[in-house]
Chains A and B, each alone.
Chain A
Amino acid sequence: MREITFTEAAREGLAEEMRRDPTIIVLGEGIGPRGGNFQTTLGLFALYGEERLRDTPISEAGFTGLCIGAALTGLRPIVDIMFADFGLDALGMLINQAAKLRYLSDGRLKVPLVFRGCMGGGNSSAAHHSGCYYPFFMHIPGFKVVIPATPYDAKGLLKAAIRDDDPVVFLEHRFLLNTKGPVPEEEYLIPFGQAKVAREGKDATVVAISLMVHKTLEAAERLAGEGVSVEVIDPRTLAPLDMGTILKSVQKTGRLLIVDEDYGPCGAGAEIATQVAGRALDYLDAPIRRVNLGFATMPFSPTLEKALLPNVDTIAQAVRDLLAA
């Protein structure tokens, strides 16, 4: 199978959907002729023009709100927010409006909106261009949260997100964008709520999110050399969250680590840990562990940034600690 990058795969998915459905529009800063800061829409402006690929002024809350109104009245808008951090200015519209309108109207309104952005640290992008933020959306009824880790998943999940009738937050890690992987040329969709076992193992279960899947796979390879067999699970969507696959793995291994490049408190890992503790405590041979971003604002200098971010060493050590417990 051909190999293309994560960005190319997602863009191919977007292009297929825009060709199929004339109600799909994309709004964002620089997503028109420029093709997107992260090349999310490269080449599409020439095909679909200004009304469907609308460059916006720097009015994140405004054009997000506008897209919610458009979603209520027959379009399927995609907000391309560039850096996920910029989406925080639009959080009020997302949480108070997008997430709540289906419920408040008792199902008579729908908000088929995709809110996509680039997330993640490691590039000295500092405090306002590095955040992950997915727990904000996991916390609110109404959202779906998608965190693809491979080009294959980026395409299939983005297509599913666009066709979904609920607001979907789609977050792409900066260090995944140029990674390559096999992607079929034919159409496929990946349903939400289906985790993937990225590596099978029997000694410990590691649930890893987005880029952390790859860091954990590296750590698992290293640990294999030490005679340790690690099972790595990529949830692919955090809402809905496929607890079945995670519980099944924990029942097999008896040990759970969650690797998450976001803060620990009230985070994705906290939710997963609570569910496992509540539903599979008897299977656990050791306390659940988490590896998270250090609890400080993302700093600029590489030495400071590195000190906060999970890496292959800290992940591998966390697995060793888990097994020693």
Chain B
Amino acid sequence: MKADKELGLALYRKMLEIRRFEEAAADSFQHGLVPGFIHTYIGEEAVATGVCAHLRQDDVVFSSHRGHGHALAKGVSAREAMAELWGRKTGCSHGRGGSMHLFAPEVGLLGSNGIVGAGIPLAAGAGYSFKLLKLDRVSVSFFGDGAVNNWSFHEGINLAAVWGLPVVFVCENNLYATQMSFAKATKEQDVYKRAANYGLPGVGVDGNDVLAIYEAAGEAVRRARAGEGPTLIECKTYRTMGHYVGDPGTGYRPKEEIAKWKARCPIERFKQKLLAEAWASAEELSQAEEQVQALIDDAVEFSRSSPWPDPAEAMTNVYAGTAEGGANA
């Protein structure tokens, strides 16, 4: 896989943005500034970055409960994503959703989702629209290994395959569904192999290698856009933090396993690759790092200074016609 300089820097920068965002979100949470609870994407940044690099703004993404990375990769600003975690009016869901309900239809994010697997049939439905309306838009569903033993995986992928819908299904297999190890959840450990039974291409990829993901997703998105149907991509990866911020993530996972995956950090690996292949200089990378840090610092300050939602609006937009708006993606 060849990456040109511009692409290499863009991928690096986006992965770093997600990492720094998650670190700042966790820090905000630990300081009591983020209500509820959050799931971070630390360790999995390559997947959202590599896939979304191929998407247009009018393509749509249905994300999971671990969705901050998908939102940022699809084009939600760090400001709007962070402010949503903080519960502020300026958040991408105007404070209505929080971490697991990030919505930004303007840039094609049709939601992170608190229900595991729910995005799979929803993504198939968007694909149904695009096919019927003869649009060359693509629908993407991101889900974890926790979703693949749920009805939604079977039914959603089966329907997309049999009807030839323009969908890319991306399984982020981080080997644990909360504390449930994938080895204990299902016998066949390669999710991508299931694709054969549904009659669609299945591709297994190193989920910590952004270029491998970029390559696999490129073909899947091309196929979808060309009307050749859906693809299942399995990215084997790892969340190096706990399931949620506050979960040490150690009781059910061997320390050696965590250490092994930390050593495979997708960002550090890609950085070394960029330097080794001379796609970027150390100076360019440190400049990117500074810019990303400034972006995230700004997002936190933006959240801090943003107003809370007005309680008077707590019951608007339950039904059509109760507030301004109503346009769809």
Interface residues of A (CB under 8 A from B): 23, 25, 51-52, 54, 56-57, 59, 61-75, 77, 92-93, 96-97, 101-110, 141-142, 144, 164-166
**Sampled A-B contacts (8; CB under 8 Å):** A59-B155, A61-B151, A65-B155, A66-B128, A73-B328, A104-B111, A106-B317, A106-B325
Question: B residues within 8 Å of A by Cβ?
Answer: 60, 62, 93-94, 96-97, 101, 103, 105-106, 110-111, 113-115, 118, 120-133, 139, 151-152, 154-156, 158-159, 162-163, 316-329
Say whether B159 contacts A75, CB under 8 Å.
Answer: no
Residues of A within 8 A of B151 (CB): 61-62
Chain B residues whose CB sits within 8 angstroms of the CB of A165 once the complex forms: 320-321, 326
Minimum Cβ distance to chain B for residue A115 (Å):
14
A68 to B329, CA, bound (A): 13
Closest to B165 in A: A66
Chain B residues, CB < 8 A from A74: 129, 133, 328
Given A75-B132, A102-B319, A164-B320, answer yes or no on A107-B325 (Cβ-Cβ < 8 Å): yes
Distance of A42 from chain B, by nearest CB (Å): 22
How many Cβ-Cβ contacts under 8 Å join chain A to chain B?
166
From A62, A106, A164, B159 is in contact (CB under 8 Å) with A62
Shortest beta-carbon distance from A51 to chain B in Å = 5
> Given that A106-B317, A107-B326 are contacting pairs, would A65 and B125 also be in contact in the complex, using a CB cutoff of 8 Å?
yes
Smallest Cβ-Cβ distance to A95: which chain B residue = B115
B317 pairs with A65, CB closer than 8 A: no
Contact status of A109 and B156, CB under 8 A, knowing A52-B132, A92-B115, A97-B118: no
Assess the A61–B103 pair: CB atoms within 8 A: no
Residue of A nearest to B156 (CB): A62
B123 contacts which chain A residues (CB < 8 A)? 69
Contacts of A59 in B (CB 8 A): 155, 158-159
CB distance from B121 to the nearest CB of A (A): 3
Q: Are A106 and B126 in contact (CB under 8 A)?
A: no
Q: A108-B103, A109-B105 are in contact. Are A73 and B129 (CB under 8 A)?
A: yes
Q: Contact check: which of A54, A106, A164 meets B96 at CB < 8 Å? A: A106
Task: Give the 6 A-B CB pairs with smallest separation, nearest first.
Answer: A69-B125, A62-B155, A65-B121, A69-B122, A107-B317, A107-B325
Contacts of B118 in A (CB 8 A): 65, 92-93, 96-97
Asked whether A109 lies within 8 Å of B320 as measured between CB atoms, the reply is no
Q: Chain B nearest CB: distance from A123 CB in Å? A: 29
Q: How far is the CA of A77 from the CA of B123 in the complex (A)?
A: 15
| B126 and A73 within 8 A (CB) | yes
Contacts of B110 in A (CB 8 A): 69, 72-73, 109
A102's nearest neighbour on chain B, judged by CB, is B317
Chain A hits for B128, CB < 8 A: 25, 66, 69-70, 75
Contact of B325 among A25, A65, A75, A108 (CB under 8 A): A108
User: In the complex, how many angstroms separate the beta carbon of A144 from the nearest chain B beta carbon?
Assistant: 8
Question: Using Cβ atoms and an 8 Å threshold, which residues of chain B touch A72?
Answer: 110, 122, 125-126, 328-329
For A98, give the chain B residue with the smallest CB separation.
B122
Tell me, rounded to whole Å, the shortest Cβ–Cβ distance linking B184 to chain A: 24
CB distance from A45 to the nearest CB of B (A): 15
Please report the C-alpha to C-alpha distance between residue A112 and residue B295 in the assembled complex, in whole angstroms. 38
* Docked CA distance A71–B324 (Å): 19
B181 CB, min distance to chain A CBs, angstroms: 25
A61 to B106, CA, bound (A): 28
11 further contact pairs, Cβ within 8 A, besides A62-B155, A110-B320: A54-B163, A57-B159, A61-B121, A62-B158, A65-B121, A72-B122, A72-B328, A74-B133, A93-B121, A107-B323, A109-B103
